[in-house]
Amino acid sequence: MEKVFDFLSELNLNNNKAWFDKNRGRYEESWKKMLFITEVLANEIRKFDPDIPVMDPKDCLFRIFRDVRFSNDKRPYKTNMGSFIARGGRKGIRAGYYVHIEPGSCFVGGGIYMPQPDVLKAIRLAIFESPDEFAGIINDKKFKAYYPVLYDDQLKTAPKGFPADFEYNWLIRYKSYAFSHFVKNNIVSGENFIEYTVQAFRELYRANRFLNDALEKNL
């Protein structure tokens, strides 16, 4: 992964089309490395999560090209590479497993990030109906060792349609049900990165299963 880190670090300092075109070969080499990692991880995840189908890793890997049409930041390229492994790939609505490669800011995790309103409501309904189950999953010691907190973006009050005095109100106020575990560069570059990541994903499985069951039941 050192070559991927080197490419992304230099891209961060030279985020323009001229430099990218000159270094396109390095980009393609990094892209292929990420495709390989994605495919290996998907094969390993499938051993414990049957929701993950056999798929083309290209359907999971996010494009490096930024959409700058409505952004004040006009840099044309992302300075990270990421893959979301789930049924439907990166464009799907289901909970899955994410690996993010960025020098100094690598992480693995998953869940569902910034879902559409109908998906978010389905999750909230499932938590409202089975709060102890979901709280038990995310408060489990092994789970919290990897994922101590949910992605911290919440409503200030209970969502519309839910009682304000619900005991687990804090659990249904989240706008995302996503989890992340930061990983040092040396671990990503080390020979045990796949094994390390698969173990982190194993701990995430029960949360993803709950979220996907919610979609199947309430959508």
Per-residue confidence band for 151, with pLDDT thresholds at 50, 70 and 90? confident
- Percent of residues in the chain assigned helix, strand, coil, to nearest 5: 50, 15, 35
Closest among 91, 101, 86 to 11, alpha carbons compared? 101
Q: What b/e readout covers 21-46, taking b as 16+ CB neighbours within 10 angstroms?
A: eebeebbeebbebbbebbbebbebbe
Amino acid residing at 57: P
Q: Given a cut of 90, is residue 169 above it in pLDDT?
A: yes
72-87, pLDDT tens digit by residue? 888 999 999 999 999 9
Give the mean pLDDT of 144-154: 92
43-75, pLDDT tens digit by residue? 999 999 999 999 999 999 999 999 888 888 889
DSSP 63: P
Q: What is the pLDDT of residue 126?
A: 98
Q: Given a cut of 90, is residue 152 above it in pLDDT?
A: no
Domains in the chain: boundaries: 2-218
Amino acid residing at 162: F
- Quote the percentage of the chain above a pLDDT of 70: 100
Per-residue confidence band for 122, with pLDDT thresholds at 50, 70 and 90? very high
What are the strands, taking DSSP E only, across the chain? Answer: 81-85, 96-101, 106-112, 177-183
Residue 129 and residue 218 in contact, taking contact as beta carbons nearer than 8 Å: no
Identify the bridge partners of residue 106 per DSSP, sorted by sequence position. Answer: 183
Q: What b/e readout covers 62-77, taking b as 16+ CB neighbours within 10 angstroms?
A: bebeeeeeeeeeeeeb
Q: What is the pLDDT of residue 69?
A: 86
Instruction: Classify domain 2-218 by CATH number.
Output: 3.30.930
Reported as type and span, the H/E element at residue 87 is: none
10-39, pLDDT tens digit by residue? 999 999 999 999 999 999 999 999 999 999
Residue 62 and residue 75 in contact, taking contact as beta carbons nearer than 8 Å: no
Residue 52 and residue 42 in contact, taking contact as beta carbons nearer than 8 Å: yes
